[in-house]
Structure 1
Amino acid sequence: MEEMVEIYKKYMPQVYKFLFSLCHDVHLSEELTQETFFQAMKSIDNFHGDCRLYVWLCSIAKHLWYKELKKKKRETAAENAEQADYRNLTENSAIQKVEVIELYKKLHLLEEPVREVMYLRLNADFTFKEIGEIMGKDENWARVTFYRGKQKIRKENRHEM
């Protein structure tokens, strides 16, 4: 039990940061972080050391995030409409919002793992080294993957004009 306390102290901030990069919600990130460590404690016997402990924790966290996304899809149409309500935005902020949405639509169309690297870099300001650790790769792989994703989006933007 004391070992899990040490693991929690060491990795909780990183797991929280990872989850926050995915959901952008402080409370949900906290809840999913707690659930991640609860699930890790329940299944610590299944960890065989094939990867770093941090990577294993992030894979649990990502799985929990995906479960949360499925749950959110079942929300009512009224809640979804509320999120998409742009009527109260000023013209400039509405245009900026549309541009951001278009960017995220393009990001969403990227293949894995490029999409995940782009999200981690753009949303959570993870370093390339941290992204490499999360993805089980090295820093250079993360840099190249991010660059290729950025180039693909730029190329698509040129074709639309």
Structure 2
Amino acid sequence: MEDLNEIYKSYADEVKRFLICLTSNVDLAEELTQETFYQAVKSIHRYNGKCKMSVWLCQIAKHSYYNFLKKEKNLHSTSVENMMQMGLDIPSNNDLPDVAVIKRSTLISVHKEIHQLQEPYREIFLLRASLHLSFKEIGEIFNKSENWARVTFYRAKLKLSERIDPHEL
């Protein structure tokens, strides 16, 4: 355990500086530094000494950052669907007035962005998100394949996720 503490003391600043360069975000770099050392502890048995310890740790840090980006991308693209669902929910009598206003505001913001999409993205997104049609049904409407509908819907979600920041809504 003392060896692991020494490794942390010796390399934490170097790993953090590397992550700051990679992410351009000090807070994220600090969080990923902790994740890096957590992963290093879990896999210390795989360190074979063929490279410097700092290089090995920076490789782990890079992979931790890439994993973070994958998670963020997935969260961001699925958040568009979540915002649509949240906006489509009709405010109930149990909702506080502020919640109803936020839901309505979200719905309006999302719909503005949807209507700025080019065709066929706009129509496919609306058919899937609003009418809950299957990809097979959407493909039939456009005389295309189910796979075409699936890919086009995915691309529409990506375009929306690029335009909509869920933290601003």
TM-score (norm 2): 0.46
Q: Which one has a bigger Cα radius of gyration?
A: 2
TM-score (norm 1): 0.48
